[in-house]
Structure 1
Amino acid sequence: MLVARDAVLASGLYAPIADAVAEAASPALHGPSAALIDLGSGTGHYSGVVAAHARSRPRMLMADRSPAAVRWSMLAERGSDGVVLDTWAPLPIRDAVADVVLDVFAPRNPPEFARILRPGGRLIVVVPRPEHLRELRTGGRMLDVPGGKATAVLEQFSGLLHALEPRHIHAIVRPTPAQAAALHDMGPSAHHGSPEDGHSGADDTNGTDHANGTARTVDGITVSVDVLTFVAR
């Protein structure tokens, strides 16, 4: 999953999402003493883009349930710290220490997220919309995205943080067959391949029709997410 995620993010297919996250985080990053915590850091890509957009590089903590992800993100962002943790459990992080918390396609723990933010700090949450990667969901190889995720997240943080106006990112990208396969493999649907046919579900997104062995072209894939910004009171 990390290798596939790195391939997708390095390709620029998700650049509109990363740029929107950086834009939302920027107002809370003031000077080199600013602290950014990436919960569900993965490869560290989004933290890297946020840091690149900031006036000065913030101190960064990469946090993920996967030790491999924490190692990867720390190597990607030299000088960052890292911790392996369960986002749903109490976080081993002190109160009011973060200027920015990132939660990009990751689980959420509203009371804990609010606790670790400084007053005026920002939480950036990215959630997919139902049409996100819909062209890859044909044939049932990828998990569906339920509707109303943004509304549910806003309700979760109601009373804890102040919500700013959500931003909807919508783009049609044209990946290569290999990139389309990586889009599948970067998420949990990568585990839903059929062992009987000897291939993962990614094969159904890489331009091959297994029914007749002929090649087909993926003309465009929808990238559609909501970027939600919350401010600590």
Structure 2
Amino acid sequence: MPLPVVEALRCSVCGEPVARDGSGLRCPRRHTFDLAKQGYVNLLHAGVPAGTADTAEMVAARVEFLGAGHYAAMADLVADQAAGTRGLVVDAGAGTGYYLARVLDGLPDATGLALDVSALALRRAAKAHPRIGAAVWNLWEPWPVATGSATLMLNVFAPRNGAEFHRVLAPGGRLIVVSPLPGHLRELAAVVDLLEVDERKDERLDAALSAYFEPEQRFEQRETRTLSPDDARRAVLMGPNAHHPARLTRLGELTGSVDVTTAFLVSVYRRKDVTTPTAP
């Protein structure tokens, strides 16, 4: 695990800094967290509700789908907005680390921390780039990450904890949020009861973050991709629809290639200079 990531992490029991100690991390009060052989650390000390973390099937679908380049244009747009960043980049809800690795490819002076509640996903994230460190954590809880330790925050199709985004970002830090636009994967709705995208998502996003962030820029990225039947199924199975199996009973009807619309909103925010509650 990269040293800048270790230095940013905090003990999830007492909030003290941690340091490498053999095959794990340990704080001065001797709370110890083992580093998994795949390279990530699990800082959770409680279970997570069913239907929250990515399953093995979801992770496998995402690895195959993203590896085929179907969201590469959006990932490049995110990387373009991150250009010039130095220091620590935190990806909140990093999944397999695909987007964080893409960003770090263009940032030789940055290190990445991948946070996600799915250990199965972080097995991939920890190996997605040599400058990524990965930690299992529930984003809705106060994070075991030092205040003001990050210069950039990524949040791609993941839960948004505005207070923790703000606390962990240093003054002047930026937040890049990616969310689906109405019409995303709409052609698959003929066979799958997809979860709907809020028509006013951008307004709700700004409102949810308004106490902590000022919007700077917003980009829409749309294209049409020709998906094989397997990739069309993966597009559905790698996301939140996979937690609703009753919606997926007709996926087997996808037997031919299909032209599918991908539509994303990339929003860039600047951290406001306001006080947030003290944390690790």
TM bracket, shorter-chain basis:
0.7 to 0.9
* Displacement of 1:85: 1.0
8 A contact 1:39–1:102 mirrored in 2 = yes
Partner of 1:4: 61
Partner of 2:252: 203
- 1:112 has 2:164 as partner: yes
Measure the CA separation in 1 of the matches of 2:192 and 2:134: 36
Match of 1:50 among 74, 98, 103: 103
Task: Go from structure 1 to structure 2 and tell me whether the alpha carbon gap of 1:139 and 1:180 turns closer, same or farther (over 3 Å shift).
Answer: closer
Partner of 1:170: 222
Aligned residue-pair number: 215
8 A contact 2:148–2:171 mirrored in 1 = yes
Partner of 1:212: none
* Displacement of 1:224: 0.5
The aligned amino acid for 2:267 is: L
Measure the CA separation in 1 of the matches of 2:192 and 2:133: 39
Measure the CA separation in 2 of the matches of 1:117 and 1:201: 43
Partner of 2:271: 232
Partner of 1:211: none
Measure the CA separation in 2 of the matches of 1:108 and 1:36: 16
Task: Structure 2 unaligned segments of length 5 or more: list them.
Answer: 1-57, 273-280
Task: Go from structure 1 to structure 2 and tell me whether the alpha carbon gap of 1:147 and 1:89 turns closer, same or farther (over 3 Å shift).
Answer: same
* Displacement of 1:23: 1.0
Partner of 1:18: 75
Task: Go from structure 1 to structure 2 and tell me whether the alpha carbon gap of 1:81 and 1:122 turns closer, same or farther (over 3 Å shift).
Answer: same
Partner of 1:210: none
* Displacement of 1:138: 2.2
8 A contact 1:174–1:221 mirrored in 2 = yes
- 1:155 has 2:204 as partner: no
The structure where helix makes up a greater share of residues is 1
- 1:130 has 2:186 as partner: no
Q: Which region of structure 1 is more displaced relative to structure 2, 65-74 or 184-193?
A: 184-193
The aligned amino acid for 1:38 is: D
Match of 1:87 among 139, 146, 151: 139
Measure the CA separation in 2 of the matches of 1:46 and 1:75: 13
Measure the CA separation in 2 of the matches of 1:78 and 1:53: 13
The aligned amino acid for 1:202 is: L
Measure the CA separation in 1 of the matches of 2:65 and 2:128: 15
8 A contact 2:146–2:168 mirrored in 1 = yes
Measure the CA separation in 1 of the matches of 2:237 and 2:74: 19
Measure the CA separation in 2 of the matches of 1:200 and 1:77: 36
Measure the CA separation in 1 of the matches of 2:73 and 2:252: 26
* Displacement of 1:57: 4.6
When normalised by structure 1's length, the TM-score is 0.86
Q: List 4+ stretches of structure 1 deviating above 6 A.
A: none
Measure the CA separation in 2 of the matches of 1:186 and 1:192: 12
> Alignment identity in percent?
33
1:131-146 correspondence runs (5 A): 131-146=183-198
Task: Go from structure 1 to structure 2 and tell me whether the alpha carbon gap of 1:124 and 1:201 turns closer, same or farther (over 3 Å shift).
Answer: farther
8 A contact 2:227–2:257 mirrored in 1 = no
Q: Cα RMSD over matched residues?
A: 1.8
8 A contact 1:193–1:202 mirrored in 2 = no
Task: Structure 1 unaligned segments of length 5 or more: list them.
Answer: 208-215
- 1:97 has 2:158 as partner: no
1:22 alignment partner, SS class: helix
The aligned amino acid for 1:106 is: A
Q: Which region of structure 1 is more displaced relative to structure 2, 161-170 or 99-108?
A: 161-170
- 1:66 has 2:118 as partner: yes
